[in-house]
Each structure stands twice: as structure tokens, then as C-alpha cells.
Amino acid sequence: MSGAGARTVGVEEEHLLADPVDGTARPDAPRVLGVLAPGRGQSELQREQVETGSAPQTSLAELRADLLARRRELAAAAGAGGAALLALGTHPLGGVPTLSAGERYERLRERFGLLSREQLTCGCHVHVGVADRDEGAAVLDRLRPWAPVLLALSANSPFWQGLDTGHASYRSRVWDRWPTAGPTDAVGDAAGYDALVRRALATGVPLDTGMLYFDVRLSARYPTVEVRVADVCLRVDDAVVLAGLVRALADTAVAAHRAGRPVPEARVEVLRLASWRASCDGVDGELVHPLTGTPRPAAQVVGDLLEHVAPALAAAGDEALVREGVAAVLRRGSGARWQRAVAAAEGVPGMLRHAARLTLDEPDPPRPEEAP
């Protein structure tokens, strides 16, 4: 349970729609959204995916219940038409996705061509509440170096177009093709962030502010900082742990800002390299340490993240849940390791059938590679 006065946190998740037998992607989003109650889901760029998002929560237990209920609601709507819901960062079998209807989606296709037509990826976006936009900028500046570690913990997309990519999160590599995706420089305050937005829009490349796909950004719709770096998590528990870490990073950042401590140096060029390492290795190799800029074993870097936010986790009442959740990811691996192991044993369609159950937190036989 989270402590009284904890800042709010919410999670948006994008999910794939697939045939439950052969695993092929299905362009069923319009039908699925037509079944749902208003506001319970929304379209994405491609018809083979849908998005849902939790309400703002202060309790991680309530966040878990909210996310799981929304996953199950989406799955029921998908299942009514014979489709399965999958919390995977990419569709392992690939194929040619179907652009969703809408004037903005058409403009994206006209402007960005093949890049938009190949974008069938599913992310997890964590929103954490802030008092005002200046506080949000302080969070953005200090959270940036840790974003690649969050990506590594969430990595859940090793396959692309039927191939093992050699990456734990290939979604992030595909996503980074967008010209506005990735890390940013420190902004200082809300005015600095607004100046960055004006300069980006002045280039004429982004269609609008909604297309500023920064890894960490100030939300244009809510009083939140939005952390957009993660893959959608196969297990809802991993999504909750991710949200707990983001909130703790925000609390830690605000405390440092109020104490007058300087923003750590984190050049965009180095953050891009750190993001690539995280996308390649996930938690199964090395990461670029946010404080030294040098490679270290992933478990060590994740452990240092936990120590960095330990006071905030304790203050929010989240320490036991988040530490246990992180330990579980390090022990069994993220979704990427699971996908590879099950696909090797049962083929990709078999893996997708198991993934549909884990998406809904339903029991699945343990894999030989997994510890109890």
C-alpha cells in the first residue's frame, strides 16, 4: 500500500490484437472499440492494436487492479469477435499493418511514408503527477539518465517480422525511427521546456505537439510527467513495478531540486548509447551506468537504481513491492527472455497462446528456464 499523500501515478498500455490459433495480427480495433464503453479504450496508429489507460492512482495495489480489469475488459471485447489480446512490444510474426481511419493518421502516412506503415509497436507510458510544470521540468531533468534502465526492465520485444532481432527491445529501435523520439537535453524549468517545444515545432517536421515523442516529456493534457520509454509489459505486475519506480524517481528528483542539488550531467549522445545498450541486452547483459557512463552488469545498475530511490520508495510504502518485483524480473528475465524460451520450445504461435494468458494474469505452466 502506498503512503498517504503519495503523488498520483497512471499507466497507459498499448496491446496487440491477434488470431488465437495461428497468431497472425488482426485489424479488429474498430470492432473492439465499438464494443467497449466510451472512454475504456482508444485507437492507435494501426488497427491491429488498441490502447487503454488506468485512472490516476495513489496506491500501487489499486493501480494493479485497475490495469488488470482494463486488460480483461479489452480481452473480452476482442474475444467476442474471435481475437486475442497480447501485451507484447512487437508482433513476432510481422505482416503489413492496417492504418487506422482518421485525418491525422493519413497525414502521418503522407509525411512519413514507410516509417508510419511499419509502426506496429506497443509501449507503456507512465504518468506521474506533479505540482506544476516547473516541478515537472525538474523531474524530467533528473529522471532522464535512468530512463534506459526502465527500458531494460520492461524489454518485451525480441522478434520483428518473424526474426529474432538480437535485441531484448526491438520496439524501441523501431520507435526511435521517428524524428522526435528519444532523449532530450535538460530544460531547467517550464519556460525551458516550452522553448524546446517551440524550436521543435518551428522545424516543420512534427505535425503537432502530440508528435513530440520524447522519452520523458511534460504531458500536454494532464498535470503529469510522462515517461514513454518502456515496452508494454507482458505481466501486469511488471507494469506496476515500473510505475512504482517512476514515481520514486519523481519523488527523488523533486527532493534533489528542493535541496538545490545540481542536475546530473547527461548528454543526449550518451543517453542514446545507453538506450541502445538497454534495448539490446535488457536485464541479461550490461547497461550503461547513469552515474558513470560506463558499462556495468545490468543487475548492478538496477540495484543502484533501487538504492537511488530507496527513501522515496519507503516514504510511499512501496519498497517491499517494488524490490520484490524487481528481483522477480532479474531472476526470470523480462518478457523478452520469456518470449524466446517459449518460442524455441513451442513455436511462435504456441508462444502467443501462452502470452494471451499471461497478459490477463491467468496461470501458465512454468517454463524449464524459470525459477519458481
DSSP labels, 131-187 = SSHHHHHHHHHHHGGGHHHHHHHH--B-EETTEE-S-SBHHHHHHTTSTT-B-----
pLDDT score for 251: 98
Closest Cα partner for 224 from 126, 154, 123, 143?
Answer: 126
Dihedral sign for Cα 254, 221, 186, 112, please.
Answer: positive
Match domain 9-359 to its CATH number in 3.30.590.20, 1.10.150.120, 3.20.20.150, 3.30.1330.20: 3.30.590.20
Distance CA 203, CA 110 (A): 17
Contact by Cβ (8 Å): 339, 88: yes
C-alpha cell at position 23:
497468431
Distance CA 214, CA 226 (A): 9
Burial 326-343 (b: 16+ CB within 10 A, else e): beebbebbbbbbbbbbbb
Cβ atoms within 10 Å of 148's Cβ, excluding its own: 27
Closest Cα partner for 178 from 121, 254, 226?
Answer: 121
Positions of the chain with pLDDT lower than 50, given as ranges: 1, 368, 370-372
DSSP labels, 214-251 = BSEEE-SSSSEEEEEEEEPPSSHHHHHHHHHHHHHHHH
Contact by Cβ (8 Å): 9, 129: yes
What do you get for the CA distance between the two ends of the chain, in Å?
25
Residue type for position 56: P
pLDDT score for 85: 98
Per-residue pLDDT tens over the stretch 98-115: 999 999 999 999 999 999
Helix, strand, coil distribution of the chain in percent, nearest 5: 50, 15, 35
Host H or E run for residue 340: helix 335-359
Q: What are the CA-CA distances from residue 179 to residues 60, 212, 303 (Å)?
A: 34, 9, 33
Which SS3 state, helix, strand or coil, does residue 89 take? coil
Distance CA 55, CA 10 (A): 6
Q: Is this structure's pTM higher than 0.75? A: yes
Residue type for position 248: A
Distance CA 245, CA 289 (A): 17
C-alpha cell at position 342:
517459449
pLDDT score for 363: 81
Which SS3 state, helix, strand or coil, does residue 14 take? strand
